[in-house]
Structure 1
Amino acid sequence: MERDGQLRLYGVLAARLKHAHTRVVNAEVPDETRRELTRRLLAVTAAAKHDLADAARRLDVLEAELDELGIPDR
């Protein structure tokens, strides 16, 4: 049962990461900003392999920054 819950959490986080990736790729920002956002997104993805809760918190912070930058939530 616990394994099913863990798999579900991975699925939710994977969907959120995919959505964040789409936002970063489509963002109309300077190249340097896109590189930094991409680097941070990759760091969250790597963190997800070891600690789902930490990765989710980091993704929350990144998504908030995307919102602040006015990057559309498509």
Structure 2
Amino acid sequence: MERDSQLELYELVADRLKEAHARVRALQVPEGVRMALSRKLLVVTAAAKHDLADAARRLDRLMKDLDEGRFPEGD
């Protein structure tokens, strides 16, 4: 049963990562900001390989920041 819930969480994170990547691509922001957001997405993806629950939390925070228009500063 636990394996089923883990699989469901993996599917949820994968779907949300796909959505987040699409949202970042569609943003009208300077390239440096887009790159910073892409790095954050890569960190979430890497975290998902080791700690799926942590990756889900990180992705929730990132999506909330996107929803509220809070973007990292670009280099």
TM-score of the pair, normalised by structure 2: 0.86
Once residues 25 and 69 of structure 1 are traced to their aligned partners in structure 2, the CA distance between those partners, rounded to angstroms, is 15
Unmatched 5+ stretches in structure 2:
71-75
* Number of corresponding residues: 70
Report percent identity of matched pairs. Answer: 63
TM-score of the pair, normalised by structure 1: 0.87
Once residues 20 and 8 of structure 1 are traced to their aligned partners in structure 2, the CA distance between those partners, rounded to angstroms, is 18
Unmatched 5+ stretches in structure 1:
none
RMSD of equivalent CA atoms = 1.2
Once residues 27 and 38 of structure 2 are traced to their aligned partners in structure 1, the CA distance between those partners, rounded to angstroms, is 11
State how 1:8-19 maps to structure 2 within 5 Å. 8-19=8-19
